[in-house]
Amino acid sequence: MNLFYAMGGGMGHLSRVHTFINQFHISPYKILTNNPLAEKLFNPENILYAEGKTITQVSRQVSIAIHSTAYNELYIDTFPVGLFGELNTIKANIKTHYLARRLKWDAYKALVKNIPVFNTTYCFEELEPAHETFLQKTGKNILATNLQYPAPNPARIPAHLIPEGKPLWLVVHAFIREETEALVSYAKEIAALENYNPVFVVLTDQQIDIENVFCYTYFPAYDWFPLADRIFVGGGFNSLQQAAPYRHKTTAMPFPRKYDDQFWRVDYFKRTH
């Protein structure tokens, strides 16, 4: 049995793991997470929640899971020793793999108490040099990997949700309401400056109440990308990966994160697509 560690908020960790599982046809598996949004992507029987009101309680649930004899392979997304450092000690008889995206290494490295051993590291984007140096110590099998996201399928969108007669401007963001509202406000400012009168559709995990905006919890958001005249997203990994084919109509706004460098990613997106 394969265990995927996907701790953290938003849809980023979950979406990346979901794409990886499908791309590499991994089965059977369980998703170890503290994120209630997991049920948008995975069947409940495939989810193992690390629950608790404190970091100590959550970390204990994680420790119980990874030391269970039910799992013989562990895949760790983003955080090599865990979101809280709770993966510093992993049983020796479990095969361990690391799914690496860019990480603010100076902010994270204090959590590392023991150098982990990874059988394979799958590297999805350019890392900070110090992060790369760290990974050279954890194992030699480091693979540059392009995640293959499914093609968008606009036919899945209920017809009554798709506006007609005006340009469609799409805003995609989840988890932090204030950030979603900031993206919508920015899109509206751009429309006013450019003298457009589009229909605004917001795809998010929570309702927001803004005048002349349609808000849906539709998932996967990228089904809408071919239909949109403009797309507004944050600086998350999955959002920019999925928006890359639509770079000509995508505006990305980075948000501050403790460990994720969205400002670097948005700059890279602008320079390379």
pLDDT tens sequence across 33-54: 999 889 989 999 999 999 877 8
Task: Report, as ranges of residue numbers, the positions in the chain whose pLDDT lies below 70.
Answer: 91-92, 273
Q: 158 and 137, same structural domain?
A: no
For the question of whether the overall pTM of this predicted structure is more than 0.85, the answer is yes
Cα-Cα-Cα-Cα torsion 97, 103, 108, 113, nearest 10 degrees, comes to: 20
pLDDT value of residue 253? 96
Residue 59 lies in a domain: yes
Total structural domains within the chain: 2
Looking up tokens 């460990």, which residue turns up? Answer: 259
Q: 167 and 131, same structural domain?
A: no
pLDDT value of residue 91? 64
Residue 42 lies in a domain: yes
Q: 124 and 39, same structural domain?
A: yes
pLDDT value of residue 67? 82
pLDDT value of residue 130? 97
pLDDT value of residue 190? 96
Residue 149 lies in a domain: no
The CATH number of residue 238's host domain is: 3.40.50.2000
Q: 106 and 29, same structural domain?
A: yes
pLDDT value of residue 92? 62
The CATH number of residue 66's host domain is: 3.40.50
Q: 161 and 134, same structural domain?
A: no
pLDDT value of residue 37? 86
E strand or H helix at 5: strand 2-5
pLDDT value of residue 210? 84
Residue 23: domain span? 2-144
